[in-house]
A and B are shown apart, each in its own frame.
Chain A
Amino acid sequence: MQQFFAFVQKEVFHILRDYRTLLIIIGIPIVQILRFGFALSNEVKNTKIGILDYSSDYMSRSLVEQIEASQYFEIVEFLESTEAIAATLRKGKTKMVMVIPAHFEDDLLHQNSAQLQLITDGTNPNMATTLINYISAITMEFQGRTLGNNAMPLQIKVTNRMLYNPQLRAEFTFVPGVIALVLMLVCTMMTAVSIVKEKEMGNMETLLVSPMNPLAFIISKAGPYLMLSLLILTVILWLSSALLNVPIRGSLLLIYGVSMIFVLGALGLGLVISTLTDAQQTAMMISLTGLMLPTMMFSGFMFPIESMPVPLQLFSHLIPAKWYFYSIQAVMIKGLGVQHIWKEILILTVFTVVFLTISFKKFKTRLA
């Protein structure tokens, strides 16, 4: 037991004295949260658009005013001719031009139908679609308000409601995503590197020629990093709720519980990587390229898994972060309880047990 505490104490010294690495480990999640929260956002706000109004009547002007009044668009240009449209879009600042044909009001009032043309910059298809949807919504609203219901005698009204995230805020996806990514990276990479470092520096040679208990050694490597990851989790949760107003609807205890299982699995994976190589550089490369990309791509946090080809969907089942991401999102955003995510918890537990077993079995008691 004393031997174990000596190991833990040594490990804590290693972590605390390498303050640069420590700073990076704690800094990464903070930067990630701030980056996703303020800089990277797929919402559309204050998009610059141009208007080409051939009718300039009361109705067309009220529509333009309404568009301008929304927070989504900023009208920067009133164009004079069709030729100017291409020139404006080519400059790249204006993302869309709305063309209102002549006799807009007349057509609408007398023929019950009028046309609007939207010309968008299709270089970024997602954004173009979003802009068109927004304008359509504003137009619908405008139509309903100015003409009343008698314009269209028969109509189907679609009312939608985005449950759990009515404002469609991106933070709700990326906060759980960042948590999964950062925990995966920190735990796996740091454990792998810290063990491989002992091999590279020759410490392992001395450690092996002693009545050392391999289990005590492995647990002492994992323990301090488990603590560190829970600290990081706390920092992320606090930042995202204080700064980004992301709610924590479910049980905090459950979040920490699932995270513990996930982190232990990640630590196990790090231990497995450490048995594969003797060089810190290699360990770092394996952890970074072998884990970061799959975690980002197949956890469902950046790209929807449902729209991937079937082989890749099957592959995504092998990514622990996918299951963790789903459970955290379920608990944090939807406020679900343990009865809804027991399957994910079970899968994560299997991953953890498998990784820890492999790492313990593969631990070499000799040099070669």
Chain B
Amino acid sequence: MNSISVKDVGKYYGRKNETVALDKISLEVSAGSIFGLIGPDGAGKTSLFRILTTLLLPDAGEASVQGFDVVKDYKEIRKIVGYMPGKFSLYQDLSVRENLHFFATLFKTTIEANYELIRDIYSQLEPFNNRRAGALSGGMKQKLALCCALVHKPEVLFLDEPTTGVDAVSRKEFWAMLKRLKQQGITIFVSTPYMDEATMCDRIALIQGGKIMSINTPYGLLEEYSSPLWGVRADNMYQTYLDVLQYPAVSQCHTFGAYHHVRLREGAAAEGLESYLQTKGHSEIEIKIISPTVEDRFIDLMQTENKYLI
């Protein structure tokens, strides 16, 4: 069963609809899964979130959440979803406990009724029960926002960039929480600009410029890769980068961690690149096949689109 279904949804801004936020996108999210929307800033992630949470009307196409239409049945959807906007949007002058109590009452329930669901997260916040939400650290704020979005036991959880601006440890914790929530049968629709978080999702959609470039499982996405990816390193990394770009058989090269990630045109061999680099005077040359990451795939797809060359 599909929890979320989006069909040909378009959203345009500006007087003459000249700014395309979403260009007729379609996707489906099965119940009880984590679906990741991965893309850079301005890709259209927030627009899609707002359409699905009934805050914006789509200009084209249709979408439904748990079988309810986002335009007609918006009141029903608002009862059964939990939404955490990208910007921290709790009351900064209310304490942790007061915020949680307010959102519980707003959804006509109590903190106690759904305590089981939020216990894991809330237990970390309880020492700060009386602290104003505005005085919490970034990670704590996100945890409180998640609690508030969960306190009415939603069927679908919408998290718009929940880990942006949060430290690495808190991000890991946050994703661990999402995994546990998934086990409770909650469908989670999450967006992030961080490619490394993509592997935590059951399925991911890569979105760029209002278009969905690929929808797949994280591993499936990497298997879409046709040609091998080479990791190249040498003594002088910067000069190596410049020289690799000059080599005619190289179709793309970008620096990623300790290696330059290089793709060669069809039929070209890595040995040719190695001897080329030797003639350029590089030493300690190392060339090996590496397994691609989501980010490699993203850059690859962007180049195929031939629109956004780096």
Contacts and interface: CB of A to CB of B under 8 A. Distances in A.
A69 B6 CA distance: 92
B55 A202 contact: no
Interface of B: 50, 53-57, 74-75, 78-79, 81, 83-85, 87-94, 98, 101-103, 105-108, 148
Given A10-B94, A367-B50, A368-B56, A209 B81 contact: yes
Contacts of A2: 105, 108
Contacts of A10: 91, 94, 98, 102
Contacts of B87: 202, 205
Contact of A13 (B50, B89, B93, B107): B93
Given A13-B94, A366-B54, A366-B55, A212 B106 contact: yes
A206 B91 CA distance: 10
Given A13-B98, A208-B78, A6 B93 contact: no
Nearest to A204: B89
Contacts of A365: 74
Interface of A: 2-3, 5-6, 9-10, 13-14, 17-18, 201-203, 205-212, 365-368
Contact of A367 (B56, B74, B105, B106): B56
A206 B94 contact: no
Contacts of A9: 102
Given A10-B102, A211-B79, A212-B106, A206 B57 contact: no
Contacts of B57: 366
Contacts of B107: 210-211
B85 A211 contact: no
A203 B91 contact: yes
Given A6-B106, A201-B89, A209 B55 contact: yes
Contact of B108 (A201, A211, A366): A211
Q: Which 5 A-B pairs have the closest CB atoms?
A: A202-B89, A6-B105, A209-B83, A367-B55, A202-B87
B258 to A, nearest CB: 40
B138 to A, nearest CB: 15
A193 to B, nearest CB: 14
Contacts of B93: 13-14, 17-18
A6 B98 CA distance: 10
A2 B110 CA distance: 11
A69 to B, nearest CB: 62
A6 B101 contact: yes
A184 B87 CA distance: 34
Contacts of A206: 83-85, 89-90, 103, 148
Chain B CB within 10 A, most for which of A3, A14, A17, A210? A210
Contact of B75 (A5, A201, A202, A211): A211
Nearest to A207: B106
Contact of B78 (A201, A210, A367): A210
A10 B98 CA distance: 8
A205 B56 CA distance: 11
Given A202-B88, A206-B103, A208-B54, 17 more contacts: A6-B102, A9-B102, A10-B94, A10-B102, A14-B91, A14-B93, A202-B89, A205-B55, A206-B90, A208-B55, A209-B81, A210-B103, A210-B106, A211-B75, A365-B74, A366-B55, A367-B56
Contact of B92 (A201, A209, A210, A368): A201
B95 to A, nearest CB: 9
Contacts of A202: 85, 87-89
A220 B32 CA distance: 37
Given A10-B91, A203-B91, A206-B83, A211 B102 contact: no
A202 B145 CA distance: 12
A10 B83 CA distance: 20
B108 A3 contact: yes
A135 B173 CA distance: 87
A3 B90 contact: no
Contacts of A367: 50, 55-56
Contacts of B91: 10, 14, 203
B80 to A, nearest CB: 10
B189 to A, nearest CB: 13
A206 B87 CA distance: 10
A306 to B, nearest CB: 48
